[in-house]
Structure 1
Amino acid sequence: MQLPAPFVDYARALLGEAEYNRFSTALLEDEQPVSIRLNPQKWDNSPFSILHSPLKEVPWATGACYLDQRLTFTFDPLFHAGGYYVQEASSMFVEQAVRRYLPERAVAVLDLCAAPGGKSTHLRSLLPAGSLLVANEVMRNRVQVLAENLTKWGHPDVVVTNSDPAEFTSLEHLFDCILTDVPCSGEGMFRKDETAIGEWSPENVEICWQRQRRILMDIWPCLNPGGLLVYSTCTYNTKENEENVRWLCRELGAEVLPLDVPAEWGITGNLLAGEDFPVYRFLPHKTQGEGFFLAVLRKAGDEEEADGMRMAQMGRPNADKLISGKQKGKKGNGGKAASSMAFGKEQLAAVQGWLRGAEGYSLMPEGQTLTAFATSWLPVLSALKQHVRVLQAGVTLAEAKGKDCVPAHALAMSSLLRREAFACEEVDYPTAIAYLRKEAVTLSGAAPRGFVLLTYRDFPLGFVKNVGNRANNLYPQEWRIRSGYLPEEIRIL
């Protein structure tokens, strides 16, 4: 691997000769660290008690650790069950901003450039109870991966959208916090992905910082006065980092906020000459992770007054007029009439029995599909649907097929699942892999007919329909493990 000459010249001037030498050695010679973050919703015991050997924890993130060797993630059922997420350690630093400055009340948060979902799943685990996360991805070929990862993570209060940042502009004061992990020149990915080196150029850096400012300008009106903007990149240069933060302060009146960062974490501060506002840069020769930059900014204004403006804009007092499973024939879904003809009263009542905390959720039929969405956030969903493309909202519960009400895979993954509503069968590793390949699965003689929830190490994997002589595999076809062989060495959590 050879670094581009213009990058070498710039980085040497930025860091100084001695530090640049340590930096380039780390990029060119050190192994890339592998880190995971456990899903706190899906572990009943202390997270690290399940690990086979003591591993080093990521110091700035809860329930995260570095692996001493890479796992065979594709063949780990717990990975597919949403038990953990493989995420680059440096990017987990977002947790420090959220824990320090986000209020303890329920909030609405937007992850603007969210695919493949590392920061979104992390945010969803950190937000106060009752909060809503909107995860957006502008690229259509990436948004499906985002939706899959958030579904597996299993939190019900999530909306996945697929829109350009400019389409959010008219949703004024909708969000209490916006995470903008903006598209960048990718210098921090050089060690992880050699194609990033081939795609890098000084011209691309110029394009990136200008695009980043356009994105920030588009999204700024959506942020509540007093709200937080978390700005991050995976690049090293100051044009895409400090200079954009300085621009946010000068042009939009943002205030840069400090974080408490222990010196032993090895995180570098502001590298822009003559500027002293707090920012946080990860360099691979100082921190165990890839290149990353983060700044926390606050929008000027009164937060309580802004909350009132948001409620007025969305007509929150009229939320009771929106559709739910109990309000057949009324309007919801952005003003479109919703029909529950595919689901009779008995079916709706049965599905409600599948849920924990069903009283806080509205059942929304759309065609042959039934979805649960938090009633308190229905006005926000309605506002979103009027301006952006909503790909997924809440939890898909069931599909109507003839007389059957077939439980959805998303329900199996969700924390809303009331497990005692279904017969459960614990399966071994070979059966779990066969299920995840969407192959035929044989159940024990004790399994009843009908819908059965399969579990592996007590983690829900998904549903089958037991018809006696066989069990129909209901795992999503598009998510199946496509490889037909097992590696010689299997390393799983």
Structure 2
Amino acid sequence: MANRSENLPKKFTDRLSGQLSAEDFESFKAAIDGDVPVSYRTNPFKPADIEFSDTTPVPWCDEAKYIAKRPSFAEDPLIFAGAYYVQEASSMFLWQALKQHAPLDKDIKVLDLCAAPGGKSTLINSLLTEKSVLVSNEIVGKRSLPLIDNLVRWGNPNTIVTGSYAESFSQLREYFDVIVTDAPCSGEGMFRKDPKAAGLWSPSLVNSCADVQTDIVNHIPRALKMGGLYIYSTCTFAPEENERRVEQILETGEFEPLDIDLKEEWGITKIEVEKEGVTATGYRFIFHKTKGEGLFLAAFRKKGEEARTQKFSISPKKIKSIFMVRKRESEDLRKWIKNGKDFEFYQDDREDVFAIPSHMVQDFKILSVSQKVRHQGIKIGRFNKKNNQLIPDHELAVSNIAAEDIPRHDVEYRDAINFLKKQEMSMRSIQGVKGWAIITYKGLALGWVKALPNRLNNYYPSELRLRKDV
């Protein structure tokens, strides 16, 4: 049993003891020394036979389960195939907020403002219609890499990853139907899971995070449509970062607070915040009451009727300057993907080719000229300069849009591990195939191989390869 409670910052415990009753505070200190719950959420687009023993449901998310003992996820090829995402249980409460208040039966635009490493984005994407659009934003370049990787594994093409400051989105007036802000915070709710976070904590960190959150709340609601859903959350207990931000949202007079239906056995604490004569409810997850880490979440509806036309201030000329791949070349590219007629193609400065759903092309162009776009749709490959043939990309292999007539070969566990480690594979492991083929494990794609007359080339990306000894 860890003694994390002995290493908590004194100024933190002094403040928290004032927030909680004496009994709750003692229970909190006991719980922070307890075990950290482990949970995962399945990918509804990639159903698989996931073999974890002793699992129980996460009650507020239909596609999530707790695991009694943490396994070595790196030893499971299915996680590389995108069959599931290991996510902290409390953060999956977003599922309830969206299910209860977002128009998920419609084709909508959603902004996940602080999206890395991708837990909330993959959750959101699981709930959206095929013709909805998810914009996942992460300002820190290094943090955007795992975000892109996790969305790639999830496999859907209706996503765009951006790297913009909150104020940049304010020019997209009334553009999004839903905005989710899991704001950068002091991380008090992670002290049990990550004891190092306690060592980094200070009152000045709380104040600097509150300043960032204030700026976000000032700018982001402008990009939300009238009648749109705004969800604000943190993984901290600090009133400066939670209750004060709810007050800030209410002070605008633009939002009405929303209640989220709960079950008592979930152990979620309701926090009432009153401002301008309006009372909003925040939902707090705290170790000794809920099976998960620390979280605060509040939901709001923007007042007013949705406008018939969008009001973003971007030059149409700039939008038209974003060129897609010409029709003649597109016909060959469509052979690589399912329902190819429903896609257009974009080639970036590095000559990578991306498949973008036709319904999302205009959004991609608008975001390309107004934001810093880091990724779009599904990267399907690049042309071989010698013969102008497409060299398919890893993203296409693990996507949900790869053409059904592409050869696939299902391998046993050991071969799957060897493939993920980017080791040489025997020709015997994939017989009867010539040229490009997709290696699968339990029916789910892991990546490309190319069968040549005398050898089999493993095209698993070097930067993603499994380094753990299995």
Change in Cα spacing, 1:413 to 1:312, as seen in structure 2 (3 Å) is: same
Candidates 10, 25, 33, aligned match of 2:30: 25
Change in Cα spacing, 1:334 to 1:388, as seen in structure 2 (3 Å) is: farther
Deviations 1:180-222 (A, max 9, x none): 0000110000001111101111121122112101011121211
CA contact (8 A) 2:323 2:346 kept: no
Deviations 1:18-72 (A, max 9, x none): 1110011101x2110110000000006xxxx743535110000021100111121
Could you tell me which runs of 5 or more consecutive residues in structure 2 were left unpaired when the two chains were aligned.
none
Q: Deviation at 1:5?
A: 0.9
Which residue of structure 1 lines up, in the alignment, with residue 244 of structure 2?
Answer: 243
Which residue of structure 1 lines up, in the alignment, with residue 200 of structure 2?
Answer: 199
CA distance in 2, matches of 1:116, 1:50: 22
Letter in 1 for 2:421: R
Change in Cα spacing, 1:178 to 1:293, as seen in structure 2 (3 Å) is: same
Alignment partner of 1:287 is 2:290: yes
Candidates 351, 363, 368, aligned match of 1:385: 368
Alignment partner of 1:6 is 2:7: no
Q: Deviation at 1:313?
A: 6.4
Letter in 2 for 1:284: F
Which residue of structure 1 lines up, in the alignment, with residue 140 of structure 2?
Answer: 139
CA distance in 2, matches of 1:334, 1:187: 46
CA distance in 1, matches of 2:457, 2:56: 42
Which residue of structure 1 lines up, in the alignment, with residue 174 of structure 2?
Answer: 173
Candidates 427, 430, 451, aligned match of 2:414: 430
What aligned pairs does 1:227-238 form with structure 2 within 5 A after superposition? Answer: 227-238=228-239
Which residue of structure 2 lines up, in the alignment, with residue 439 of structure 1?
Answer: 423
CA contact (8 A) 1:157 1:373 kept: yes
How many residues align? The count is 458
Which residue of structure 1 lines up, in the alignment, with residue 338 of structure 2?
Answer: 356
Change in Cα spacing, 1:332 to 1:395, as seen in structure 2 (3 Å) is: farther
Alignment partner of 1:456 is 2:441: yes
Q: Deviation at 1:336?
A: 3.5
Letter in 2 for 1:153: W
CA contact (8 A) 1:100 1:259 kept: yes
CA distance in 2, matches of 1:80, 1:193: 24
Moved more, 100-109 or 246-255: 246-255
CA distance in 2, matches of 1:365, 1:243: 45
Q: Deviation at 1:380?
A: 1.5
Deviations 1:409-458 (A, max 9, x none): 11111111223x21111111121112112221223362322001100111
Deviations 1:282-334 (A, max 9, x none): 0110110000010001112212x2xx22288679xx9xxxxxxxxxxxx9976
Alignment partner of 1:277 is 2:280: yes
Instruction: Output the TM-score relative to the length of structure 2.
Output: 0.92
Which residue of structure 2 lines up, in the alignment, with residue 336 of structure 1?
Answer: 322
Which residue of structure 1 lines up, in the alignment, with residue 398 of structure 2?
Answer: 413
Q: Deviation at 1:468?
A: 2.3
What aligned pairs does 1:31-42 form with structure 2 within 5 A after superposition? Answer: 31-42=35-46
Letter in 1 for 2:439: L
CA contact (8 A) 1:334 1:385 kept: no
Which residue of structure 2 lines up, in the alignment, with residue 375 of structure 1?
Answer: 358
Could you tell me which runs of 5 or more consecutive residues in structure 1 were left unpaired when the two chains were aligned.
319-330, 487-493
Q: Where do 4+ consecutive residues of structure 1 move more than 6 Å? A: 311-315
CA contact (8 A) 1:279 1:295 kept: yes
Query: Residue 278 of structure 1 aligns to a residue in which SS?
Result: strand
Moved more, 179-188 or 383-392: 383-392
Letter in 1 for 2:286: L
Letter in 2 for 1:287: T
CA contact (8 A) 2:272 2:280 kept: no
RMSD: 2.2
CA contact (8 A) 2:325 2:345 kept: no
What aligned pairs does 1:63-102 form with structure 2 within 5 A after superposition? Answer: 63-102=63-102
CA distance in 1, matches of 2:371, 2:290: 38
Moved more, 275-284 or 145-154: 275-284
Change in Cα spacing, 1:366 to 1:208, as seen in structure 2 (3 Å) is: closer
CA distance in 2, matches of 1:217, 1:312: 17
Which residue of structure 2 lines up, in the alignment, with residue 268 of structure 1?
Answer: 269
